[in-house]
Structure 1
Amino acid sequence: MRAILRWAHVDLRAHRGEALFIVAATTGIVAALLLAVALFGYATNPWQRMFTQSHGAHVWIRTTPAADPGRLASLDGVEALSGPFRTTSATVESRGARAGVELRGADEDPPASGRPLITSGHWLTSDSPDGVVLESSLARALLAEPGDILTVPANGHSLTVLGIADSPEPRYRPGERAGTVWASPLAVERMGAVWSGQLTGMVLADPDDTDYAVQRAVTELGADAVRDVSDWRQARAEARGDTVLLGQVLVLFGLGALIAAALAVFGAISTRVRGHLRDISVLKAVGFTPGQVTRTFLVQHVALALLGAVLAGVLIQVLGGRIPGRPGEAVEVWQDLPGPPTALFAVPVGAVLFIGAATCLAAWR
């Protein structure tokens, strides 16, 4: 083993350019794979992205106006509350389309937890007392954009659309689920509506304890005070159905790119090993067995690949979020998701193992 390590060290010193190239190539390949994983999660799981960026609530509880949802903050496992928000039901009309909505009282400052993500326009302001913000699926159903006017058929009152926002909550479904409209309390009072309930979101320390948290919340408030409960799993299951085809397409193209990269790496390693045929002959002449020759090249390439993989992981972890555009945003969101620690370990390890296998095959041949 000492002879193997000594020759590997001498060879690396004699061929520093090749060693640096292998390290750089491995770093680039692993970094590209990590970026691809981040972009894949960003594109195929928009619900998780929205949930992470908005610090979404794991449980939403609708209660009567007389309930005191603030007591939920003292329950074990509850990190924060979103709300409570006063709510009331209404019907709005825009460009000939009607929709049942839930008007949700909101302040000029968006909530810290369960925060809507503005995609166009802006949030509520005191300068527009009749201004509202529409959830994006409701806006699509009403064909509404910032600046449009919504009409309340019940009394002819007009509401101005200030912005459109994404939310990880269950989306609008005509005839099944009302759409969400964020409005200032003044706007609701000006249209003559009466608050009919409250909505409170609970951010949990452990999402796996959702069922237990719901039971505790209902017990704390009383079954008579709770009208409806929904959790993050329902919204996630609903949203995933829309991205299955996109995920399959991206996986297909990703596998093709991965196979191409694997062939390129294998070809590069094979070429380098063949370039050492004279050295291999010398090693065999001084008594190296085929197994020792294989281990010699394996030690070299695994060490270089490991160095490149570690560099790639560090670069993505430290500088990935600074990449301009969607890739940087995808890395920032991806780092906050449950999966990144696993992927950040699995991708470099997989690359090193593949390089080791390719080296063994080429050296043995």
Structure 2
Amino acid sequence: MRATLRWAHADLRTHRGEALFIVLATTGIVASLLLATALFGYATNPWQRVFTQSQGAHVWIHTGPSADARELSEVDGVTSVTGPYPTAAATVESRGTRASVELRGIVGRPSTGRPLLTSGRWLDPAAPDGVVLESSLARALWAEPGDTLSVPGTARTLTVLGVADSAEPRYSPGERPGLVWALPSAVRDTDGRGGQVTGLRLTDPGDTDYAVQRAVTLLGAGAVTDVSHWQQARSEAQGGNRLLGQVLGLFGLGALVAAALAVHGAIGTRIRGHLRDISVLKAIGFTPGQVVRIFLLQHVAFALLGAVLATVLIQALGSRVPGRLGDAVGVWQGLPGHTAALLAVPVAAVLFIAATTGLAAWRAGQVPPVPGL
């Protein structure tokens, strides 16, 4: 073992450039795979991205206008409460398309369940009839900032000030009304059925059913008109992204295999350049197994160093990369499963490199003690 370590140390001092190249190559490969994982989560799970950035509520409880929803802050496991906000049912029309909506009275943007503007601007007291549409409703109505919505049966009109993303269940024609944020005065002026809605953010999202049961018990079953939760919204939003996720996952798997083959080629070239040294080792008594272990342990150590370096760089500096890539890393770091992916990707890369190195090292072990002429 001492002779093995001495030879590895001497080889490292003699071929520092090759060792540095392998470490940097592994660092680049693992960093690229981590960035690809971040982009994968950013592209295939837009709902989770919106939920994380908006500090979304896990449960939304709709009640009658007379219910005292402030008591919901006393429910076990609730970390924050947003609302209650006055609501009113209405129908709006744009370019010949009608949609049932829920007008929600709100002032400012709360810290929990905060709508994320994608275009336009937020509500302005100077524009009392201005509204902000949830993005899925805006697409259904073909509406954008500056458009005017009519309220059928009345002479009233609403001006679209902006479009925002929300982690709540999306608009579904005939099943779920679209969400429209408006000033409380605009909601009170609507003749539709009134109520209020309150959002709850939980300490443990897995306790959603228990929290809903406690909230309904506290308010009374007759006071609660509707309940929506984050699992429902997530399942509806993720339905159209499964194919994209499979395609991106297949490309990521192909990239991992290609990276392993590239490292295998680099390591194989390096071992072929050491045939004379391997023959000398065989001549002085090294067994084929010892030769294999020398190269395997040496290159696995290089791979581990490169993987750790890449993980530290992405974790510390990834979110500072300008543009969409930095945004993707920043959002990915706040998503569930980030820690598992941050460990699994480098480990998988090191195992792939170890497997390909083992094949090249096995060939090195078959080199004869005396090189052929």
TMscore range, shorter length: over 0.9
Q: Which residue matches 1:7?
A: 7
**Residue pairs, 1:305-316, within 5 angstroms:** 305-316=303-314
Contact 2:33 2:252 in 1 (8 A): no
Q: Which residue matches 2:326?
A: 328
Shift of 1:187: 2.1
> For each residue in 1:104-141, what CA deviation from the matched residue of structure 2 results, as whole angstroms up to 9, or x when unmatched?
0010x211111111110011112211110000111111
Q: Which residue matches 2:356?
A: 358
The residue identity in structure 1 corresponding to 2:246 is: Q
Contact 2:260 2:356 in 1 (8 A): no
Name the CA distance, whole Å, in 1 between partners of 2:67 and 2:289.
Answer: 75
Name the CA distance, whole Å, in 1 between partners of 2:194 and 2:170.
Answer: 21
Name the CA distance, whole Å, in 2 between partners of 1:130 and 1:346.
Answer: 51
Name the CA distance, whole Å, in 2 between partners of 1:193 and 1:269.
Answer: 75
Contact 1:86 1:195 in 2 (8 A): no
Name the CA distance, whole Å, in 2 between partners of 1:258 and 1:35.
Answer: 13
Shift of 1:258: 2.4
The residue identity in structure 1 corresponding to 2:172 is: R
Q: Secondary structure at the match of 1:174?
A: coil
Q: Which residue matches 2:122?
A: 123
Q: Which residue matches 1:45?
A: 45
1:256 to 254, 257, 263: 254
Name the CA distance, whole Å, in 2 between partners of 1:351 and 1:99.
Answer: 50
Q: Secondary structure at the match of 2:222?
A: helix
Name the CA distance, whole Å, in 2 between partners of 1:48 and 1:86.
Answer: 27
Q: Which residue matches 1:225?
A: 223
Moved more, 22-31 or 291-300: 291-300
Shift of 1:302: 1.3
Shift of 1:354: 1.6
Contact 1:65 1:195 in 2 (8 A): no
Q: Which residue matches 1:152?
A: 151
Name the CA distance, whole Å, in 2 between partners of 1:193 and 1:182.
Answer: 16
Q: Secondary structure at the match of 1:224?
A: coil
Q: Which residue matches 1:244?
A: 242
Q: Which residue matches 1:161?
A: 160
Q: Which residue matches 2:141?
A: 142
The residue identity in structure 2 corresponding to 1:149 is: T
Shift of 1:194: 6.1
TM-score normalised by length of structure 2: 0.95
Shift of 1:195: 6.6
Q: Secondary structure at the match of 1:132?
A: strand
Shift of 1:183: 0.1
Q: Secondary structure at the match of 2:28?
A: helix
Name the CA distance, whole Å, in 2 between partners of 1:363 and 1:249.
Answer: 34
Q: Which residue matches 1:178?
A: 177
> RMSD in angstroms over aligned alpha carbons?
1.2
The residue identity in structure 1 corresponding to 2:207 is: D
> For each residue in 1:263-284, what CA deviation from the matched residue of structure 2 results, as whole angstroms up to 9, or x when unmatched?
1111111111111111111111
The residue identity in structure 1 corresponding to 2:90 is: A
Name the CA distance, whole Å, in 2 between partners of 1:225 and 1:77.
Answer: 21
Name the CA distance, whole Å, in 2 between partners of 1:103 and 1:293.
Answer: 74
Q: Which residue matches 2:97?
A: 97
Name the CA distance, whole Å, in 1 between partners of 2:345 and 2:250.
Answer: 18
> For each residue in 1:195-230, what CA deviation from the matched residue of structure 2 results, as whole angstroms up to 9, or x when unmatched?
711111111111111111111111111111111111
Instruction: Give unpaired runs (5+ residues) of structure 2.
Output: 364-373
Contact 1:26 1:308 in 2 (8 A): yes
Contact 1:130 1:187 in 2 (8 A): yes
TM-score normalised by length of structure 1: 0.97
Name the CA distance, whole Å, in 1 between partners of 2:252 and 2:163.
Answer: 33
Shift of 1:192: 4.1
Structure 1 position 348 matched with structure 2 position 366: no
The residue identity in structure 1 corresponding to 2:23 is: V
How many positions carry a matched residue from both structures?
Answer: 363
Q: Secondary structure at the match of 1:26?
A: helix
Structure 1 position 290 matched with structure 2 position 288: yes
Moved more, 142-151 or 298-307: 298-307
Shift of 1:40: 0.6
Q: Which residue matches 1:187?
A: 186
> For each residue in 1:148-179, what CA deviation from the matched residue of structure 2 results, as whole angstroms up to 9, or x when unmatched?
01111132111110000111111111111100
Q: Which residue matches 2:28?
A: 28
Shift of 1:253: 2.3
Moved more, 263-272 or 312-321: 263-272
Contact 1:91 1:154 in 2 (8 A): no
Contact 2:90 2:192 in 1 (8 A): no
Name the CA distance, whole Å, in 2 between partners of 1:248 and 1:192.
Answer: 46
Change (3 A) 1:94 1:194: closer
